[in-house]
């Protein structure tokens, strides 16, 4: 017995909404914190001359940004 095909309308009916501009505050926070991390790492490198300490600063700040961004993404769902 053949299965009847479902007719799909020519244009899907959807609710249209007016798009609004929103600001992603976590993204703004991450950009600001990243700029602070680069400044702080440069200061550590110039003052101490230790590239390992400067990379540690960058790694620590990147870890904080990554954890907050991941938690935010999980809470959005």
- Reported as a single tens digit per residue, the pLDDT across 36-69 is 999 999 999 999 999 999 999 999 999 999 999 9
pLDDT above 90 (res 76):
no
State residue 14 phi and psi, 5-degree precision: -140, 155
pLDDT above 70 (res 13):
no
Is the pTM higher than 0.75? The answer reads: no
Q: How confident is the model at residue 20 (pLDDT cuts 50, 70, 90)?
A: confident
Looking at residue 63, its pLDDT comes to 96
- Cα separation, 76 vs 68, whole angstroms: 12
Q: b/e map of 23-49 (b: 16 or more CB within 10 Å)?
A: eeeeeeebeeeeeebeeebeebbeeee
pLDDT, greater one: 21 or 11: 21
């Amino acid at each position: 017995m053949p299965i009847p095909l479902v007719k799909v309308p020519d244009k899907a009916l959807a609710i249209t909404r007016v798009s609004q501009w929103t600001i992603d505050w976590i993204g703004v926070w991450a950009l600001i914190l990243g700029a602070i991390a680069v400044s702080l790492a440069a200061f550590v490198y110039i003052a101490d001359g230790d590239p390992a300490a400067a990379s540690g600063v960058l790694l620590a700040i990147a870890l904080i940004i990554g954890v907050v961004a991941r938690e935010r993404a999980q809470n959005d769902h």
